[in-house]
Amino acid sequence: ANIWYEELSTGKIKIEKKDLTRKRLGRSPNLGDAVCYGFNDHEDPKHRINQMIFT
């Protein structure tokens, strides 16, 4: 799934709204959702997403 995101200067990751992704892709980004949440629970602190902002 192609979910658009950007890293902010604060180190936070801003992810596009699911509605916008669904409209752009013409389908639900369920796999992309799973990937985002999977990385959020990652045990390695270097790869952990401390806060995701859905816009």
Task: Walk along the chain (55 residues) in steps of 10 and give the mean pLDDT of each run.
Answer: 77 82 82 68 54 57
Mark 8-24 as b/e (b = at least 16 C-beta within 10 Å): eeeeebebbeeeebeee
Q: What is the pLDDT of residue 49?
A: 55
Q: What is the pLDDT of residue 21?
A: 80
- The model's pTM is 0.48
